[in-house]
Each structure stands twice: as structure tokens, then as C-alpha cells.
Chain A
């Protein structure tokens, strides 16, 4: 690749604004993070926190939206995707960076057969002849555990169950040997027993193919078992990042603390009451001037309302955007 740096993807000061009738919506606000080759990263947050928009920006999909303004840098293998012409980005999208969408029902074209859906990308990106592409498609379907792949490749998406459809989607995404896979809520539409199958499959394929995966989800359980490093987003900003084990055991941001406390766990004794985070996430077109979590935060003080806190290092490899992070460093584990 000719790039000496360790990083596969480097996102720096990424901001995405949408112009709407109600004013400018700051969907993503100065987000920076890196992903190393083969790394499994979890991007966690609630709906509207900007996690999916971040993924769209990395894929260069935001340029198709007329009302979106993107600024910052997205360096992939040393090249700034935001500065590349669309023609160049098209060579990367679907090949080096692939995406798995949440809903396999709506994201697979129902009038195209699996064969057509799969071979299109393989022919375009890998330059294979049709027969060779079909061969590769069948190989990929086998790899993701679709029985009778050579017959089922002629079927249409509706002939597959939800879990099988998600396997097809993973097969499509991996068919061109991507270096980076963006998985946006890959198991949210699936049942737990199927979810377990798909997560294992993704984890194993990532190791075999040395592909990095960014798992985008609201479900802390999904990333806990799969990802080494976690990024937490709230209201368009990155509020905490760090290695998964440390972050889950000892969160350095009150929002992460709240999220972890508000979900019941099967391995813990039952509690009489769940600790909820009071209030609602803020309106992204009218963000408070200070920390956007301040209105819901149990640690909030006067300074939190003045200016947004910077994402600063709290421990080696860990960052938190909170003025009161020092209080959490010494606190009991959540």
C-alpha cells in the first residue's frame, strides 16, 4: 500500500450538517477516530446520535445527498476520501470498503436474483468474467453457510429467511475482499439464536480475511463480545473511546455509565428498579451551547453549560469528553 502508518482508516474532525427547514442539523460534530487493519471496533449510540451518518460519510454516500455538508478528513489507506472525485470513490466503495445494512429485507433488491446481486459487484470490482464471478459467488455463499449454494444462487431474496438473507448480505459485502467492513446494526432485525450465528460468522470471517469491521449498534451486548475497542457517540459527538474491557468495567463518561446501568443483565441478580437516564436526547438542530449531555447528566455543573468539553485522554488509550471525568476515574465500577 505504500503507507507506513498503522492505521487503515483515519477519521479527523468529521462534521456532517444537514440543511433542513427547521435549521441546520449537526448530525456529526467534529468526530475523530482511527481503525487499524483487521481491528474490530464498536460504534455505540442511540438513534439520532450520528453513528449511521458517520458510516455513510465514510462510504461517501453523503455526497449523494444534496442538503449535506461534509467537512474534515476521512483517510483510507492514506488517501482522503472526501477529496477524491466520485469516480475514484466508486472504485473503493463496495470493494475496499463494504457495508452490511440493518434490514436485509429492504436492502436487497427484490426483483434481482441472488446471482445477479452478487455477481454485479464481483464483475465490476474484480474484473472477473461472468462464469468466474458466478463461481466466486457460490464460493462466498458456501463460506457464509448457505446450504445448497449452487441451487440457491438462482433464488430471489424473499425466498430466504431473515438470518439467511443477512448471510447473503455478508457474502455480498465480503465478495470483493474488503479491507474495511461497516456493519450498521447487523443483527438488530434478527432473533437471538440467529444473532449468535451471525456475530460468530462475522468475527471469524474478519480474522480469516484480515478485514477490519466497524460494528454500529445501540446494543451494548452485541459489541461486548465482539469488539476490542468501543466508541460511544451522543448527539453527534464522540463522548468516549477506549478498549472494550476497560470501558465496560470502568466507563469514563456519565452517559456510558448511564447506558450500562439502564440495561438489565442476565448474569446479575434481579434489581427492583432499573436506573434510567432521565430526560430525552437533544434536538440536533438546537443543541445546548455546552455539553449536549448536561441536561440529563447527574454530574453536570455550571461549566458544563458554558462550552462543550473536548475529547481528552483520561488514561492510556482512553478518551472522554467530560469535565468531570476525573470523578469517574476513582469511582466504583458501574
Chain B
């Protein structure tokens, strides 16, 4: 089977070649919705990931951001084949992981690891640190059983834990320390590529910076490639080289960190960035947030055309609600999926002078939430 088909997928095979570690192409993950107790009929599908294509280059950190339910975690899991993709390809060093089974897949998996969001749920509370961190070593036959503890000590030291704690259990550690254990476990098999799925969102503020610094330090030391999945846009900006923004199962914008944060072109990215609060009251007074109306629609029944058109302040009737925008290279190495981006202009979403929610509150209309949009401030 050919490796790079899928003209229907946004971006498709047109992605620039380069020194990539992982290339995903036309990735789709659909979860069936069934009805019936004994005989289950398939009545629909949740399109968690709906045609996603991108490359992850060697040694970089690719940030993947989006709101909850946008499919960013599912994408991460589908890359590692923890969830089987419904369609599409995941190329890792040339091999299509979506086609591999059994031992062949397991051998590839040694090179790819994951750091999970919740350090309380992702460590087995009945296993000691030596078992947790040492298990991958035995599974992949990297160390003999009697050499295992020695390597575990090394790993614990590497992530900033006391190497003599290897016979302790996870409950004896705090959240930040547990996340270090999770990182040690991921590093045990000497991977090249790590999917970090919201690795700091369950941690305390004063601990987050420690873990971010550790991840960066380890990346430099072991030449790791990260896919960093998070919803916190300021953290992603800090850690990533390139950033992809997801909305309802699709990538809407993908660019260099500086380009994406400096000149976001997709209306959704602009709204998302303007909504991030800044820990400084004076900056907050200046900040004009675009308050998007309503909620993210259900991925079981995504809107027609551009998935964002129902909340987009600049959506054009007859275009955005009909036609799927393709993820295309709108500027050099700056990809976006929006019909309204032209060669020399793009929609500028700006908040109005007036507080947008005033209309919702004084009008007490039935469609209160809908009037939340700052359509008054749209500027071309």
C-alpha cells in the first residue's frame, strides 16, 4: 500500500519534506456511537480526530493546543497506536505504525513513549518505583533482571529524585515527584520521541516550572523530540518550537512559535490567544479579549463546512458553512485552514470597544449566549 495518499485530508501530502521523526497523514479516529443492548447498531460516530496531517521534526517540540474535546489527546494516543486510527497513516522512521501488529509494533514502541497528564492515575499504586520504572527495561529486554535496579537508580537521579527511594510506593510522593517518576519511566527505554499529554496541568503552580525546566533539560541532553499537548497557551509558547492549533478534530493553524503567537491568522487562534488572562492587572486593563459565543459544538455532529463557522465572528454565509477549508500554506511555513486568508490579507478579529457581554445581560433575550459575540468589533 502506498504510504502517502489522502488528498481529502487537509494539508494532504503537500507537507514539506524534511528531517522528520513522525509524519502523520490524514489521521482519523472515529469512535462509534451504538444503540441497542444485545445487538448493537452503529448510529453515528464521534469524530474525535477528523483528518489531521503534520510532521514532527527531529529534535523539536511541537505544541498541540486546543480546548477540551478538540481531539488533541486522541491524536497523541493515535500516534502511539494506543488507540487504533480509523484511517490514515502514522509514519515513524518510514514505517507505517498503523499497519504494524504484535512484535513489530512493540519494537517500534520502544522508541516512542508517553508522559501522562494525571500522575495519580498513571502510576500503579501497588508497584514500587523499581517495578514501575524498571518494567519497561524488562519488557524490552534492555537490562537483565539483576542489573535493573542499578539503571533505575540512574534514572531516578536523572529526574531529580533520591535514588535510594526505589523501594517506595507512589503514594509516598507528591504530585510533582510522581510526575518525575512518570518521566523516569518514559526515559527508561531511551526513546527518541515522547508524547507529553498535559504533563503539568495536574500540578501546583510552583511545581509546574520545575517540571517544564526538567523536560527542557532532558530534551537537550538526550536529543529528544516532543509532541507537547496542552491547553495552556502560555506554557506551550514557552516550550514549543512550532505550534499546531486544533479545533473539533482538525488542525486550524500550524506555524513557527513566533509566527503563530506573533501573527495568528486563523480567527480561532486569534480569539483563543486574546482570551488568555495575563497575571498582571495593568496588562489586563489593556487586554481586549474576543469573547466567542457559545460552546464548542459536539464532535458527534460537527458543523458543516468549516467547523468553526458557528462561532466565527467573520464567517461568510454560503462559503464557510458549505465548503471545508483546506489546511494550506498561507505564508512561508505558516499553515492555516481558513477561506478568508488571502495572499496579502487575513481576517483581523478584534474585540469591540464595548464589553461584549453587555448585550447579553441587559437585553435578557432568549438567545443571550449568542449575543455574546463581539461582532461589533470585527475589523477587516
Contacts and interface: CB of A to CB of B under 8 A. Distances in A.
Interface string B253-287: 00001000100000000011101111111111101
A169 to B, nearest CB: 15
Interface string A180-207: 0000000000011111110111001100
Contact of B289 (A145, A164, A196, A244): A196
A145 to B, nearest CB: 4
Interface string B288-313: 01011001100000000000000000
B280 A265 contact: yes
Contacts of B367: 147
Given A218-B204, A259-B205, A267 B210 contact: no
A206 B216 CA distance: 42
A263 interface: yes
B369 A191 contact: no
Interface string B176-204: 11000000000000000000000000001
B68 interface: yes
Given A197-B291, A204-B355, A147 B206 contact: no
B176 A197 contact: no
B234 A265 contact: yes
Interface string B201-230: 000111111101100100000000000000
A154 interface: no
Contact of B207 (A147, A244, A280): A280
Given A145-B368, A245-B281, A262-B208, A192 B234 contact: no
Nearest to A246: B281
Contacts of B35: none
B142 interface: no
B361 A273 contact: no
A334 to B, nearest CB: 10
Interface of B: prevailing SS: helix
B166 interface: no
B87 interface: no
A325 B56 CA distance: 47
A274 B271 CA distance: 26
B278 A224 contact: yes
A193 B235 contact: no
Contact of A197 (B235, B273, B277, B357): B357
A225 B369 contact: no
Contact of A273 (B216, B283, B285): B216
24 contacts: A139-B364, A147-B366, A147-B369, A148-B366, A162-B68, A192-B233, A194-B67, A196-B275, A196-B292, A197-B292, A222-B277, A224-B280, A245-B282, A248-B281, A248-B282, A258-B206, A260-B279, A262-B209, A264-B235, A266-B261, A274-B209, A276-B207, A276-B210, A277-B209
Interface of B: 67-68, 174, 176-177, 204-210, 212-213, 216, 231, 233-235, 237-238, 257, 261, 271-273, 275-285, 287, 289, 291-292, 295-296, 355-358, 360-361, 364-370, 372
